[in-house]
């Protein structure tokens, strides 16, 4: 049994942590912080969690990070906020999973360029993608939980890069649900602007672009030239990522499928579709990343597709997967549920 606190319990990643942790047999939730909601019942804001465990009697607390004393802390805080909180928690010896972008880059200058912020709280962190960094995650005190787009894109592309199967140009075209934009209303999330619409945005300038690139470069000694464009679709949850790459000469489809099956053989949360492409209904509400496609056209272009729930494998579920690893629990504890289909 461990105690766990959540800094920032009012946003979507915070509420999703609560939803999943409320069914974790080894976890006691200690603090759920909020500046604005101090004293308010958790279930007032998250009525979906009424009647679950003792959440009915739990309130948000406006508590300083310095006063948190649980075994684990999830920082479900915005980019730029985590760096002011994490170092103090780290000093105190707590294990931390940060869901912001603040600790995802080894190279501070990339962070500062793409986030347009001065980083004032640098620490060594492990990039929390268990499929690539499981052993390091088990040993670290600080995990930088991956971004939602990078989770789907890296898992779709890693075997291609690692096994040197493709030419150097990679195109990633992603379609995301609106929950990725967070809990606060804006023009972007206004229903009449989203419904019956598809909206491409940050066509060449999304922050997840260097995150994907850097992680893939750890798998090879070559430069990766990754071109990424996200699109907002009229759905709440899910990211469908379509990758377009060009196979090196003589690489065959069957070989690619074999490599993927081997690469992810023992992964509890990666499912390979050797026929057809995955879609979002298979992963909704679940921690799975489904990968398929494997089609090659006459010009040697390979299409690979991945599907995740952006709030689960793309955020809070993966954060709990990391916690399980750091705490020595069964990696799948509280996470092995099928997608909500339909």
Assess whether 148 carries a catalytic annotation. Answer: yes
Report which of 119, 177, 151 is spatially closest to residue 316, judged by C-alpha positions: 151
Verify binding: residue 217, its own copies, rule CB under 8 A: no
The answer for residues whose C-beta is within 8 angstroms of residue 93's C-beta and 6 or more apart is 141
> Minimum CB separation from its own copies for residue 8, in Å?
16
- Number of residues in contact with its own copies under rule CB under 8 A: 87
> Minimum CB separation from its own copies for residue 228, in Å?
8
Binding residue (CB under 8 A) for its own copies from 277, 320, 325, 326? 277
Nearer of residues 103 and 263 to its own copies, judged by Cβ: 263
Q: Quick check: helix, strand or coil at residue 270?
A: strand
Segment holding 17, helix H or strand E? helix 12-21
Q: Which residue has the tokens 């289909």?
A: 341
Verify binding: residue 25, its own copies, rule CB under 8 A: no
Verify binding: residue 159, its own copies, rule CB under 8 A: no
Instruction: Give burial (CB, 10 Å; 0-12/13-18/19+) of 141.
Output: middle
- Binding piece for its own copies, criterion CB under 8 A, among 81-89, 107-115, 143-151, 174-182: 174-182
Binding residue (CB under 8 A) for its own copies from 112, 197, 222, 248? 197
Residue pair 312/255 in contact by the 8 Å Cβ criterion: no
Give CA 134 to chain center in angstroms: 15
Catalytic residue among 21, 144, 148, 172: 148
- Binding piece for its own copies, criterion CB under 8 A, among 63-71, 100-108, 135-143, 233-241: 233-241
Verify binding: residue 273, its own copies, rule CB under 8 A: yes
Neighbours of 256 (CB within 10 A): 22
Verify binding: residue 201, its own copies, rule CB under 8 A: yes
Residues numbered 73 to 102 that lie near its own copies (CB under 8 A) are: none
Q: C-alpha distances in angstroms, 226 versus 45, 214, 340?
A: 40, 10, 32
> Minimum CB separation from its own copies for residue 40, in Å?
13
Nearer of residues 87 and 300 to its own copies, judged by Cβ: 300
Verify binding: residue 41, its own copies, rule CB under 8 A: no
DSSP state of 230: E
Alpha-carbon distance of 331 to 271, in angstroms, equals 16
Give me the active site residues, please.
148
């Amino acid at each position: 049994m461990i105690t766990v606190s959540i800094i920032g319990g009012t946003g979507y990643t915070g509420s999703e942590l609560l939803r999943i942790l409320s069914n974790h047999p080894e976890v006691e939730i200690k603090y759920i912080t909020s500046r604005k909601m101090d004293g308010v019942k958790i279930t007032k804001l998250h009525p979906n969690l009424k009647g679950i465990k003792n959440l009915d009697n739990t309130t948000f607390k406006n508590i300083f990070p310095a006063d948190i004393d649980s075994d684990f802390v999830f920082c479900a805080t915005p980019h730029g906020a985590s760096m002011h909180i994490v170092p103090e928690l780290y000093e105190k010896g707590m294990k931390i999973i940060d869901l912001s972008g603040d600790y995802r880059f080894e190279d501070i200058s990339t962070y500062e360029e793409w986030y347009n912020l001065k980083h004032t709280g640098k620490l060594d962190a492990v990039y929390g993608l268990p499929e690539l960094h499981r052993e390091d995650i088990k040993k670290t005190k600080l995990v930088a939980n991956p971004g939602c787009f990078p989770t789907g894109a890296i898992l779709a592309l890693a075997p291609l890069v690692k096994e040197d199967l493709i030419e150097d140009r990679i195109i990633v075209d992603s379609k995301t649900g609106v929950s990725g934009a967070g809990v606060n209303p804006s023009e972007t999330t206004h229903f009449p602007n989203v419904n019956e619409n598809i909206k491409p945005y940050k066509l060449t300038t999304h922050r997840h672009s260097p995150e994907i690139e850097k992680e893939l470069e750890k798998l090879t000694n070559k430069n990766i030239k990754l071109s990424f464009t996200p699109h907002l679709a009229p759905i709440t949850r899910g990211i469908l990522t379509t990758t377009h790459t060009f196979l090196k000469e003589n690489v065959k489809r069957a070989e690619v499928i074999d490599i993927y099956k081997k690469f992810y053989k023992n992964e509890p949360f990666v499912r390979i579709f050797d026929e057809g492409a995955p879609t979002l209904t298979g992963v909704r509400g679940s921690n799975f990343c489904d990968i398929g496609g494997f089609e090659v056209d006459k010009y040697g272009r390979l299409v690979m597709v991945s599907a995740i729930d952006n709030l689960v494998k793309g955020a809070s579920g993966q954060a709990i997967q990391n916690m399980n690893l750091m705490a020595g629990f069964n990696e799948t504890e509280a996470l092995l549920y099928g997608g909500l289909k339909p």
